[in-house]
Amino acid sequence: MNYVIWGGAALSLIGLVGIIYSIWAVSKAKRAGLDDEQLRQRITRILPINLGALLVSVIGLMAVIIGVILS
């Protein structure tokens, strides 16, 4: 079960990187001084990345928990 724990940790790390990227991209868009419609469009493009990263992170954490329980 060691491989499930480490695989889950890797997935969680990938998800964390995606979440940090989305935070960085939104803050960069806000600092760019765009009008409301352009800012809304840019955030709309970033939202699926954020949700996907959150999903990957949750799946990784579940794999870690399952690996710890089964070992």
pLDDT, one tens digit per residue, over 6-22 is 999 999 999 999 999 99
In the structure, what pLDDT confidence band is assigned to residue 1 with cuts at 50, 70 and 90?
confident
- Across 48-71, b (16+ Cβ under 10 Å) vs e yields eebeebeebbeebeebbeebeeee
**Helix extents (H) in the chain:** 2-31, 36-70
pLDDT confidence of residue 7: 94
Q: Are 62 and 7 in contact (CB under 8 A)?
A: no
Q: What is the pTM of this model?
A: 0.83
What distance in Å separates the CA atoms of residue 27 and residue 5, rounded to the nearest whole number?
Answer: 33
